[in-house]
Each structure stands twice: as C-alpha cells, then as structure tokens.
Structure 1
C-alpha cells in the first residue's frame, strides 16, 4: 500500500459519475474520501485470532449478513437488531473504525463489543490490498458475493440516493459501462470476488465463501454452516427452533420494518439515511432493468472472469 495516499490517488484517477472521480490504488478503484482510512486499515489493523470479519463487494448482501452474523454470535442480544441498524452493530473498518486515526476508535456497547471475546468487523477492502493483514492472522473471514447483474442494479439504485444525485442522476447506461470496465467503488467487481474466492480455496478453515443466492435459497442450512464455521454451533433439543428464530428475525421484511431501518436520519459516518440500506433484496431484479444486449455483455464478461477460472457462477 502507498506511503502517501493523496499523491498516489491523484496520480491515477478517473470519472465514474458526473464530476465524481475514483482513485486507482493497486489495481482497484476507490472513493477518494476513504483512501486514507483504507491505508490506515492496511498498515495498522492487527486482527486477533478470535476476530470475525465480514468482507464483501458493495451492494452484495452486506446488511443481511451483518444481521445474521450478529445474531449467531450474540444470540441473547439479537433483539438489538430491532433498535440498532446492522451497520452500527458491526462497524466498517475503513469507514468507522479507522476513519480518522491510526488507532481504532473505541468500540462502544452499540457496536460489536457485546460479545467481548468475539469482535465483529466488516470491510469492502479487496483481499489483494489486505493480503498481508489477513494472511498473518488466524481470524475468520466470511465473504458474501452476489450475481454481477443484480449487484450492478443495486449499486445503481444506491448511488442515485446520494445527495449529489439531486444535481444529476447516474444513468443506467453509464453505470453499466463503468461496471463492466471495473470503474466503480471497490471495482473491478470480478477481481474483488476472485481474490476472496481463491483465498477460500487455500484456507477453507479461515474463510467462508457464500453467495447471496445460496443464502436466499436455503437460509436455515447456511445459517447452521455459518455457526459451525464461527465455532458456535446451535446445540440442544431446540436447535432447529433456534436456527429458525435467527433466520426469521433477520429476514428482509422483518429488518426493513424496524423503525430504525425506516429512519430518514443519516449516520455520522455516511451521508445517506438508514432506510437507503433496505430496498428490495430480490434475486433476479436485473431482469426488470437490463436489456438482452446488456445481459449478454455482462454474461460474456462473467464467463471470461469467473468461468475460465473454474468458478461457475453469475449466469
């Protein structure tokens, strides 16, 4: 990672939406306001063996996975999801924890410190930038990915909720082209996914790789697998009821209807209201927006980036 974030960022930049630019760092396009904090994470974050890190590309199911992970680890405190947004319960390393200092911000009871022996964090930082950090630790990482076409549509909707979008929306045609070229926050998407996919094959005991579609198709089975991976399996005669309760309390409909997640207020760490993190949560929503030609373009890219590497996913 670079020693001087600003100089490195501005030596390689590109517009991705209107006058908004991204900085290119080690092959990935990052939002300028987070490059210095990402640099802090890379240089100063020392994960403990007991830490759990949820990694993901933006808009691939992060909010849902945060809810599930929190409920699995803090079963007696899962009711807190009714009063706290999942992003407050599991802070983002580069956005909340290392936002302003080389020292991590104190984790208050409203964040991941309920279970003091298991710290929970999340990140959108690509593995390629975090390799030394993760490879030197026995911490456990959960990575979630989502169909590239649905990821594109979810990203497009999310960006158009930004305040800047009032000055001019992000056209879907532009968003599609930027996505395919990899010039979107944390992109290229395919490189981001494959970095963690390869790690899951090399260190299956340390990285749990799951797709949004798998989880949607059979949440109970995968919640049980997640609990076993995290070292806290469901036990007792009522374990099936325990699993069902976690799945139900973390369902999209239940979470979306909590007052905190319907709120139009914005957190201190990101200029978007809490309700912007809950839109639709559906599989296949891209069919309502993308033309056949665009779908073919993305599928061709998916075959090249995923299928050629043996990862048969995304189409």
Structure 2
C-alpha cells in the first residue's frame, strides 16, 4: 500500500512539474495551470485526492467562492443556518469560540495529507455535512455535480476582490516567496493569474450553473448581501430548506443570525484576534475592512479603465454584472 501511494505521489509530482507555471496572487508565489485554472502547488495533491476520493451525499451543503470574495462571512452564515437545530442558542454558539475556517473545512486543503484518516473523518461528520471549496465548477468531483447536494456561491466585484487578495497575500508572503508589487499583481490578475483563477471563468461557471439548475446552485453577490442581508439570508434559508422559516419569529431568528455573523462582531472576538489557520495564516488576516468600494483608494485611472474593459469583455452576454461603488 505504501509503495502504491509513493508511486502515486511521484506521478502527481511529475504532473505538477510538467504544468505551465507563473507567478501570481496566491500562497507560495508560483501557480500551476491545471484543468484550465491556476492551482496553488500546496493543494495540488489535495485537489486530485478530492476529485478521486470524495463521495458526496445528497444532503451535503457546499459553500463555494473565488478567494477573497466573502468566503469567511459565507462560511459563518451558512454554518449557523445549517446547524440551527444543533446550536439554537446565539449566546453560546460555536462561532463565538471558533473561527469560521475551523468550523467549515476545504476538502482540497485537508486531503493534501493523511488521506485515509481525512476521508474517514469526512465520512463520519454529522449530517448535513457543511464543507467549502475554492475549486471552479468544472473541476469539482463528479459526485458533487451529479448528486443532489447544494452549493451556495458568493462572488464580489472584481475591483474589491483584487485589493482584498493583494492585501491578504502580501501579509502572508515570506522571504522565500516575496510579495508582488501592486502593479505587478494587477497585471497578473488582469490575465487571470491568481489562485483558482481566472476570476471571470470561476464566476461564470457557477453563474451559468445557477441559471441552469437553480435548485442546485444559489448565486450570491457580496455587495447584495451587504446591502440587504435579511432578504439574501432568507434566500439561503429557503434554498437549504431549513426549519428556521417555520413560525412567526423566523425574521427575528434571521436577524439574530445576521447579527452573530456581522463582520465587526467576528473581527472583535478574541478567537479571531490571535492564532493561525493551517499553521500559516493568522486568523486576524481574514478580517480586514469588509467594505464595498475600498478599491477606489488604490486604483489609478488607467487601472480602472483597464479592469472595467476586461469585466465588460469577459462577462458580456452572460447577464452577470456588477455595480461599482466608487
């Protein structure tokens, strides 16, 4: 068995080395072009293991996102909704003592090591299982795309996504892989070179699926969620068909959920001020500003023009668009 796994690891390593690579926004500096997306090397083996070994259950719930698009917030909201019957008290909720990334795992990250143990632990999770992914829709395991499990996807306007990503990856860069300058990173981003990018094909994959199969994929925009949280959290509750909607106090429950997951509240919790996730990322780095339109403080007029043209060109005819809050 060990020899077989060694052989597989060698084959995966050879495959990784054969792929086109480039520097871009992502953990570790270099990214590899795999299945038409830019895969960070630290999770390459995990992506393959996820695709080959993960068995979805019909009642699974996945939160999917392009990095730095509101992932932490979506994980928190969905965790509270899915587990409302298990944890009905908002005063003693797991979210008050654990970071959302500790409560909702990425299989493509955790399956990079101790495969057998992690598969067992995933299969033994209490149901409905709630998991997360940054993978583009076409690269999800077939068991997810072909089962009845549900996916909630969040995206953010590409201007704020870039600023958030640049700030985040600059903070976690190391001496061995120094951060790109803002201008260098912007050029890479415009060419789609960011972990799990291109961002436009990532968004469009889930967007098109949400139109084709609205019972399978719920598509959210970060900006919409910020502007009318009650309406969109209700959409999430209805999409997941959870019992919160029963009874006259459902709106009060939804307002309590929103309050529990408020950016300012989560940022202020002791559990999110110190400690690290995956032994790499400090928890506090997941809570920067959480604002809409902060990009205006970073972009030059020529950058605004360039990215605006790319958005128009890439999303043209799809029906997907963004209001830019400048």
The 1:167/1:92 distance shift into structure 2, 3 A limit, reads closer
What per-residue deviation string (whole Å, max 9, x for no partner) do you get for residues 23-61 of structure 1?
Answer: 110111111111110001011111100000011110000
Partner of residue 7, structure 2: none
Match status 1:96 vs 2:103: no
Match status 1:313 vs 2:318: no
SS at match of 1:213: helix
Distance in 1 of aligned mates of 2:165 and 2:155: 13
Q: Residues 293-308 of structure 1 correspond to what in structure 2 (within 5 A)?
A: 293-308=302-317
SS at match of 1:159: helix
Distance in 2 of aligned mates of 1:165 and 1:220: 44
What per-residue deviation string (whole Å, max 9, x for no partner) do you get for residues 151-208 of structure 1?
Answer: 0000000001114169743211011001011111111111111111111111110110
Distance in 2 of aligned mates of 1:187 and 1:52: 23
Normalized against structure 2, the TM-score is what?
A: 0.88
Distance in 2 of aligned mates of 1:45 and 1:258: 33
The 1:12/1:294 distance shift into structure 2, 3 A limit, reads same
SS at match of 1:160: helix
Q: Of the candidates 23, 30, 40, which is equivalent to residue 16 of structure 1?
A: 23
Match status 1:136 vs 2:143: no
Distance in 2 of aligned mates of 1:12 and 1:98: 18
SS at match of 1:308: coil
Conserved in 2, the CA contact under 8 Å of 1:299 and 1:314? no
What per-residue deviation string (whole Å, max 9, x for no partner) do you get for residues 84-135 of structure 1?
Answer: 0001111111112554315635549xxx94xx22100001011121162332
The 1:167/1:313 distance shift into structure 2, 3 A limit, reads closer
Partner of residue 271, structure 2: 260
Offset of residue 280 of structure 1:
0.7
Distance in 2 of aligned mates of 1:289 and 1:95: 31
Offset of residue 16 of structure 1:
1.4
The runs of at least 4 consecutive aligned structure 1 residues that moved more than 6 Å come to none
Q: Of the candidates 71, 81, 87, which is equivalent to residue 62 of structure 1?
A: 71
Distance in 1 of aligned mates of 2:258 and 2:238: 15
Per mean C-alpha deviation after superposition, the further-off stretch among 24-33 and 303-312 is 303-312
Normalized against structure 1, the TM-score is what?
A: 0.91
SS at match of 2:256: helix
Distance in 2 of aligned mates of 1:217 and 1:251: 13
Q: Residues 224-303 of structure 1 correspond to what in structure 2 (within 5 A)?
A: 224-232=234-242, 233-263=244-274, 265-267=275-277, 269-303=278-312
> What are structure 1's unaligned runs of at least 5 residues?
none
Partner of residue 81, structure 1: 95
C-alpha RMSD of the superposition: 2.3
Per mean C-alpha deviation after superposition, the further-off stretch among 202-211 and 92-101 is 92-101
Q: Of the candidates 221, 235, 252, which is equivalent to residue 211 of structure 1?
A: 221
SS at match of 1:282: coil
Q: Residues 7-46 of structure 1 correspond to what in structure 2 (within 5 A)?
A: 7-16=14-23, 20-46=29-55
SS at match of 2:95: helix
Distance in 2 of aligned mates of 1:308 and 1:66: 30
Offset of residue 229 of structure 1:
0.5
Provide the aligned length of Structure 1 versus Structure 2. 307
Distance in 1 of aligned mates of 2:136 and 2:74: 18
Conserved in 1, the CA contact under 8 Å of 2:49 and 2:111? no
> What are structure 2's unaligned runs of at least 5 residues?
1-9
Offset of residue 5 of structure 1:
2.8
